[in-house]
Structure 1
């Protein structure tokens, strides 16, 4: 069967599933036939084709096999011969069809990567959404991370994905960190190390490459490297004690790939003033390759981030990254310029032909180790069966339930006796992220309405926009800025009305949704939202503040007498919260980070289920 014929069967369920995957690790050990394929393929490649193998463009959210975005991805295959893609496509139907289209058009099989930090549900509604890494750490059980790795590997292999950009090995020691935060396993080195190892074992044991990121550590920054060059100005001894151990552990565990960070580390980068680690030979070759002994694939973080684009042109940055020790250039702003610059750099002596060939060989060895040289078919029917597996959703809810942490309950509000509660007021406070889809709110409302006789629900933004109002309404709405603020914001009149509603309710549950997202300078609620929490807390009526997302918000809400943490803003935590509030499930999570002035790592009030 030709690749074109195979493509025509996509969606029919007639394609055969790939054989049971073999575990993969950084050694990329190959059988003789696979070794021969690598040697034969590499020897047949021109310098341009070798350079193309090092490029991993990003395919944006709206791409399909039938639109211009998909056509542009196809041109990158046929004209530049790129070796890999990272997919940001929303929806498995479009993603699987596009993967097959691209594979069918590529002379050399493509590596397909997706940043499934939260499982297939990160991008695909057909898949289950897993909680954030910090929620896993709050359970205290690294085996949950191993199972998550197994689940993600199973979803990926069925869907034609070979590589995930997980785990995040950053130790989040900075409460002001706007981009790592709950994406980390926490601030404790041993916790990050053990959970990262467990995830790698589960994922790579299932035949999918894991990726330890963001080397050599993004946990002690107060800026998002998507916005500017971040700096970790710590001495080498501190880096050895905090930042490096999880990466050393990941390498010992055989992690197949490591992602670099666009961060300057002055202590380990002599003579490199304000240069990101991504472009540093001191970091990628001397430290990662030579000292730590990593021999797998080194991939840059996205080269579209301002920590790179603020100072380097696309071609210049690609050459500098390869010279530093990287193998794969992720999401260049100009892939053609990057490839051409890599090719031109060889005769100019900036990089050697041997160096370029070395990285191209690593890419091909990874492909052979994954079995791509024997076929890239997708059984779409089997893929959707796996993506819709209810066991995965039960696992996600179980982890979310075990993660719930009670910081304090000064008035003894919990557990709430639903049968004796006449009216519950639910105030859903959302931060200023523009991408909320409110699936979590729907799950919360369903959970409350299932348990309580009367539920009133209000959504509160600091500065509501028409876009979020339309998504909340599920359709088109026409509101002035004043109407938006009075209906969804915190005007003086609305603040007074919400306070009165709280006074007249048996119990008020405030859910604060605060999430990490790229290109945001901070994480938290606005001053008027915090004032609302403060005023309701001072009423003396039963009230619970449940923080869905960054636990550091608790530092800004000292007045709240009862505070719960979930470390996640997604559906699993929204589904788990009502059961925890009413005592149907035990509250047993432990805080994975320190909240200065509020709580110590390991804190958590335990409440047995009813």
Structure 2
């Protein structure tokens, strides 16, 4: 029995009536369509609607584009579909997760480094306000993973760190910010990423904690956030062998499935033990961690029977839909089971008041942003006040990991000539972007003379330059690393260029050298010879400017590391 008047829906009688009446009127095809959450890669809204006419999907997610384009697609679709859509985005780091002209507020780890839960609330508030203004009603956030394994290439700065209590507190505040904007959240990635050193985009990964360890860490986080009203949970392609065995003692090792298609994990652990009454989504069903578990024909029905309500993305929508329909017609999946999911999905939509939206109001909901955050112009996406909040967060977060050589501050008066190296500079999750131009501009504007080493032109001869020549030419060497966690990669580590790492830190004993990381907070492991290290956690123009302010001594370092940046290694703090 699904409690529509309880947590997380809290529907009134009229809303309950709409859910039940709407479900009863739906055809089998309409019901099955609701269980699919598609990726909106097509920019033409009419073509998206043509897809909906073939398979009436229940939700859509977009990759970031300009706000005007996202808004146009959402307004067109919502005006034409029969049942309003859930519209989602990865709002992990600000409105940048849906609108490229939105605010790049902060990564979750940057927020945690401030030690101030108000920044987590503001991250949720800004993300939801900007998302809502273009039609988003569901944030695929907060990330509730714990960064237990520093080698994990996908959790990293997407998390609030390695302390479960910090993760819980910050995630709860993010939820509060979203709730005020009437944007639902999705806790992810159940049963919890961050233990394995592999990426579930590439393989099925393992949460290897005992039941007792899980209960006191991931379990505690999810239990509390569920009680606080989280509307959806995203289940990852992550095994939890200990609980699979406890819930089903006779299970064989080869029968332990990723959480996304595991009845023990979804129905047993999430629904029965934790009491979750909301909507359960899979993580993207086109990931290798999902696709490698069983045949597609079996897996799609198994995922629904396991307790998931919506399948995110997929390999081929029409084929996945046909597999589910065949399973229902053949009795593999019962209509009762389908109706359960449809009821939850409709209830979520009703709780967000999507069923009573007026025409033309999908992206113009009354602004609930706090008075002190509003701008007179009424602008929301990328507004100046949000950018100032992001700058304040960066100022509070940037962490001096070590300066055992007592190099700082570095100013144009003391170290005017800079040899600049940028190690790794690719965009990733959480709104990260390339930082080269920002760094060059910020250092130049601060008064430094900057000589940029272009690693694309690296030659083995560069390692043969006389030490004296380097000492005479430069006052300081600066390494800025922008190695960011991203999907479908096996590691998040620095890769030097050339045959013999021509851009590596060969001259640390000749010229004072410092290292700044805008991504991976464990950068020390690849540059232990550098004795001045700064973690900034997020690549944005705002963060770059804040880092330069701190390097030059204009602002003090305030951040506290949410993880062990030294990875417990010998000699790390020297």
TM-score computed with the length of structure 2 as normaliser: 0.89
Alignment RMSD, CA only? 2.7
1:182-202 CA-to-partner distances (Å, cap 9, x unmatched) read 111111111111111111111
Query: Is the aligned partner of 1:209 residue 2:190?
Result: no
State the partner residue of 1:579: 549
Give 1:314 deviation, angstroms: 4.0
- The structure-2 alpha-carbon separation of the partners of 1:433 and 1:403, relative to structure 1 and needing over 3 Å to count, comes to closer
Alignment of 1:224-373 (within 5 A): 224-270=199-245, 271=251, 273=254, 274-373=256-355
1:252-311 CA-to-partner distances (Å, cap 9, x unmatched) read 211111000101221111316241011111111111111111111111000000112124
Give 1:571 deviation, angstroms: 2.9
Query: Is the aligned partner of 1:407 residue 2:378?
Result: no
Whether contact under 8 Å (1:172, 1:220) holds in the other structure is yes
State the partner residue of 1:536: 507
Give 1:396 deviation, angstroms: 1.2
Alignment of 1:375-394 (within 5 A): 375=357, 377-378=361-362, 385-394=379-388
Query: Is the aligned partner of 1:121 residue 2:96?
Result: yes
Q: SS in structure 1 opposite 2:506?
A: helix
Query: Is the aligned partner of 1:442 residue 2:437?
Result: yes
- The structure-2 alpha-carbon separation of the partners of 1:587 and 1:370, relative to structure 1 and needing over 3 Å to count, comes to same
Give 1:25 deviation, angstroms: 9.3
Farther-moved stretch of structure 1 (27-36 vs 111-120): 27-36
Query: Is the aligned partner of 1:64 residue 2:27?
Result: no
1:427-452 CA-to-partner distances (Å, cap 9, x unmatched) read 22216779999652222222111111
Equivalent-residue separation in structure 1 for 2:133 and 2:15 (angstroms): 22
Equivalent-residue separation in structure 1 for 2:479 and 2:9 (angstroms): 50
State the partner residue of 1:473: none
Equivalent-residue separation in structure 1 for 2:153 and 2:223 (angstroms): 25
Query: Is the aligned partner of 1:98 residue 2:73?
Result: yes
Give 1:133 deviation, angstroms: 0.8
Whether contact under 8 Å (1:170, 1:246) holds in the other structure is no
Farther-moved stretch of structure 1 (413-422 vs 252-261): 413-422
Give 1:497 deviation, angstroms: 5.6
Q: SS in structure 1 opposite 2:176?
A: helix
Equivalent-residue separation in structure 1 for 2:496 and 2:96 (angstroms): 32
- The structure-2 alpha-carbon separation of the partners of 1:52 and 1:287, relative to structure 1 and needing over 3 Å to count, comes to same
Whether contact under 8 Å (1:304, 1:331) holds in the other structure is yes
Equivalent-residue separation in structure 2 for 1:592 and 1:439 (angstroms): 24
Farther-moved stretch of structure 1 (526-535 vs 572-581): 526-535
Which residue, out of 397, 400, 411, partners 2:391? 397
Equivalent-residue separation in structure 1 for 2:415 and 2:425 (angstroms): 29
Q: SS in structure 1 opposite 2:277?
A: coil
Equivalent-residue separation in structure 2 for 1:56 and 1:139 (angstroms): 35
Equivalent-residue separation in structure 2 for 1:174 and 1:190 (angstroms): 17
Equivalent-residue separation in structure 2 for 1:286 and 1:29 (angstroms): 24
State the partner residue of 2:248: none
Which residue, out of 475, 479, 483, partners 1:510? 479
Whether contact under 8 Å (2:190, 2:235) holds in the other structure is yes
State the partner residue of 1:161: 136
Equivalent-residue separation in structure 2 for 1:35 and 1:533 (angstroms): 63
Give 1:168 deviation, angstroms: 0.6
State the partner residue of 2:533: 563
Query: Is the aligned partner of 1:183 residue 2:158?
Result: yes
Query: Is the aligned partner of 1:47 residue 2:25?
Result: no
Which residue, out of 519, 523, 526, partners 2:488? 519
Which residue, out of 500, 518, 521, partners 1:548? 518
Give 1:40 deviation, angstroms: 1.9
Equivalent-residue separation in structure 2 for 1:438 and 1:174 (angstroms): 24
Equivalent-residue separation in structure 1 for 2:97 and 2:466 (angstroms): 34
Q: SS in structure 2 opposite 1:551?
A: coil
Which residue, out of 356, 365, 374, partners 2:356? 374
- The structure-2 alpha-carbon separation of the partners of 1:453 and 1:557, relative to structure 1 and needing over 3 Å to count, comes to closer
List alignment gaps of at least 5 residues for structure 1.
1-23, 461-484, 606-610
Give 1:385 deviation, angstroms: 1.8
Which residue, out of 485, 492, 495, partners 2:460? 492
Whether contact under 8 Å (1:48, 1:340) holds in the other structure is no
- The structure-2 alpha-carbon separation of the partners of 1:550 and 1:437, relative to structure 1 and needing over 3 Å to count, comes to closer
Equivalent-residue separation in structure 2 for 1:49 and 1:453 (angstroms): 63
Q: SS in structure 2 opposite 1:359?
A: helix
- The structure-2 alpha-carbon separation of the partners of 1:432 and 1:242, relative to structure 1 and needing over 3 Å to count, comes to same
Q: SS in structure 1 opposite 2:528?
A: coil
Query: Is the aligned partner of 1:147 residue 2:117?
Result: no
TM-score computed with the length of structure 1 as normaliser: 0.84
Equivalent-residue separation in structure 2 for 1:390 and 1:382 (angstroms): 20
Whether contact under 8 Å (2:438, 2:541) holds in the other structure is yes
Equivalent-residue separation in structure 1 for 2:490 and 2:141 (angstroms): 23
